[in-house]
Amino acid sequence: MPGLSNIRYSREKTISDVRDYYTFLTKMYLDESEVIEPPVEGWPYIDNLRSMGKTDEVMALLRHLPYIRRNEDVGPEAAPGCSFADWQQLAQVTSPDDDDGRSLRECSEPPELVDDIPSLSYGRRSEPAFLLDTWRGVVHWYECEDAIIYNNTNNLDWVAPVPEMDDASDWAPEREAEWRAQHPAWAVADFFKILRGQFLALNVVPIGPLEVYDIYTVRNDDSAVVSAIQQIYRQHGWPDLLTFRKQDCLRAVKTTLHEEFPDFYVEGCDEEDGGEDGGR
């Protein structure tokens, strides 16, 4: 658990951490073709996002990040109830001369967020938000569950949040101090370690090719589905990445949903969809 004084932001390391996390997801449920890499010179059109009011460093980071492919409003979730922003795709449909910057921020950031912090996530305000601070080198998990903050879970890779956030008024500008103190933050690498640990422990579970559930917010009538999917993953070797049989597991998940839970709707997992990757 490094303190703020020991955390340093690195664009190259942040890009690597994001890439490693996406690679991890492809070993569990995500189709490898969903992860797209930037050209050497970076993603074109990123400058269209300048209307969001981000710094040059933020723009440079967004230009060189890999992304999980998103078509319009549809994309695989990369955390419970949360899609990661495909900023290269959003930049293509954004004009630098209109007010799209405000609408993009409304779909990716809490209203009190300061200009120079981009969101890794994108979606409805009710969905989780992951806020990457290139100034401090941390990621704030907006509305993070207490069970994750205090490790009341079976997560062997748990890391405590950065302690200085509790006293953000001592170092942060007044307009930032309250929300920073309310929402925990981790160094970038530790943030992704926390997320991976939640998947490894099956505290968060891919239900289909597009949706990820968690054990903290699942409704009582969906708990049997989550429990059944957890068991299928374990039966297929999870969490041992060396022996896990991804394709067999995804097919078993799809079959179980259709045969045992026919009324449970899973986006992107229609029965008529075939393929080697669980209906992708």
Type of residue found at 49: L
DSSP 186: E
Backbone angle region of 202, left / alpha / beta, with phi > 0 → left and psi within -120 to 50 → alpha: left
Three-state SS annotation for 246-275:
HHHHHHHHHHHHHHHCCCCCCCCCCCCCCC
Position 110 scores a pLDDT of 60
- Which segments in the chain show pLDDT lower than 70? 1-2, 72-74, 96-103, 105-116, 123-127, 265, 267-280
Cα separation, 75 vs 209, whole angstroms: 9
Q: What angle (nearest 5°) sits at the alpha carbon of residue 154, between those of residues 237 and 31? A: 45
What radius of gyration, in Å, describes the C-alpha atoms of the chain?
19
Task: State whether residue 201 is helix, strand or coil.
Answer: coil
Question: What pLDDT, on a 0 to 100 scale, did the predictor assign at position 277?
Answer: 41
What pTM was estimated for this model as a whole?
0.88
Calpha distance 64→261 (Å, rounded): 41
**pLDDT value of residue 272:** 43
